Amino acid sequence: MDIQSYLQSLPTPSILIISFVLCSWFYYQYSWYNRNAKKNSSIPTNWPLLGMLPAIIQNAHRIHDYGTQVLIESGGTFEFKGPWFTNVDFVVTCDPANIHYIFSKNFPNYPKGPEFRKMFDVLGDGIFNADYELWEIHRKVTLSIFHQPDYQKVFQETVLEKVANGLLPVLESFWSQGAEFDLQDILQRFTFDCFSRLLLDYDPESLSLELPHIRAQYAFLDAEKAIFQRHILPESCWKLQKWLDFGKEKKLREAWDDLDQFIYPCLEKKLTLLTSSTSTSKQFENGLNAFIQAYKSTCSSSSSKNINRPEVTKLFLRDAFLSLMVAGRDTVRCITEKIVMHLYIVSLCSSSLLSKGTTTATLDRDGELGKKKLPRNKM
């Protein structure tokens, strides 16, 4: 009896059972092979329904280091697959050639699109959300300011003044009291004051001995958390939260109001001064004044007729300054934290070496390898 005749003689349930056993065996072998192949790999597994989310949750405590390992093993570019119900699929790249191609060489071919603007709506028409002509205006205005020698001078003076009158007195106060403090919060206040003074010509003095609670400072953090949630949850879920006004969407609405109440008074005051004043002193070439002047000169050559209207000007400046404060606030803080951490590690290593001395390798006259311990005054 051949195999075909034998299978035909079997009842249907038996055939189904045999098929199930064979499929299970092949799936087990396939899974075993993949587990052994990826045993020493950091690249996450794309699970059914869940996507690569389990690997992200497992490495959430070291997400930056984990992301670096994945990019190294994947050659600098990696495609992330999220859970099927979240629509969170994206490409991560650290290849300089890709970054140059997307952001510089062929930028018009990569618009952010309406979906991106929905999630980052709190930033308005800032440079993070802008496309095409509006993005070009943001780019020209921002670069014209950053390349001014006076701007660099004001930036240095602002930072040094805040270090002398804000950061050092606060740290000395904690040191004299022997009290613990949150370094991250201190550096957030430092960058918030610096960028507010630099961009809005206003110092909120959040970094002072009293460490006051300023709503606009914490509004940035609430907005970032809500935007991150929008990247994870389906659009229908966070839109329902927004409609019912609860959860992180409620905090985002409150943060939006706090940021507007912080930025708009500074803009209105400065725009009123610029409108009523005929002075041509050098102070109008720095800070907020220089940004307004650069915006007006750039928009004068724009093809859009409505862009020079006062209400449009104020809205543009609000979105521009908010985007710049978001970009500078966290990057400067993170870099400063890393510097402080490395200085602390180096100081511990230096203390350990000074307490134990340093052993160096030496060769005697016969060429034998020996060891010599240096005294402390020779280190």
Q: What is the pLDDT of residue 104?
A: 79
What is the value of pTM for the model shown?
A: 0.69
CATH 1.10.630.10 fits 132-355, yes or no: yes
Can you state the angle between helices 287-299 and 149-162, rounded to 10 degrees? 150
Q: Which CA distances in Å does 71 have to 81, 232, 253, 288?
A: 15, 21, 35, 40
* The amino acid at 170: V
Residue 131 is given by DSSP the state: -
The stretches in the chain having pLDDT less than 70 are 1-16, 25-40, 87, 274, 276-288, 294, 296-312, 350-379
| Cα–Cα distance, 90 to 304 (Å, whole number) | 34
Residue 108 is given by DSSP the state: G
Per-residue model confidence as pLDDT tens digits over 65-75 = 888 999 999 88
Helix (H, G, I), strand (E, B) or coil at 82: coil
Per-residue model confidence as pLDDT tens digits over 87-116 = 678 889 999 999 899 887 888 888 888 888
| Cα–Cα distance, 349 to 269 (Å, whole number) | 52
Helix (H, G, I), strand (E, B) or coil at 55: helix
| Cα–Cα distance, 251 to 323 (Å, whole number) | 19
* The amino acid at 218: Y
Residues paired with residue 81 on neighbouring β-strands, in sequence order: 89
36-42, long-range: CB < 8 A, 24+ apart: 41/73, 42/66, 42/69, 42/70, 42/73
- DSSP codes, 86-107: TT-EEEEE--HHHHHIIIIITG
Task: Indicate the domain borders of the chain.
Answer: 38-110, 132-355
Q: 109: buried, middle or exposed (CB in 10 Å: 19+, 13-18, 0-12)? A: exposed
Q: What is the pLDDT of residue 298?
A: 65
Give yes or no for a contact between 286 and 154, defined as CB atoms under 8 angstroms apart: yes
Q: Which CA distances in Å does 21 have to 16, 18, 48?
A: 9, 5, 21
Structure-token pair, residue 89? 């699929």
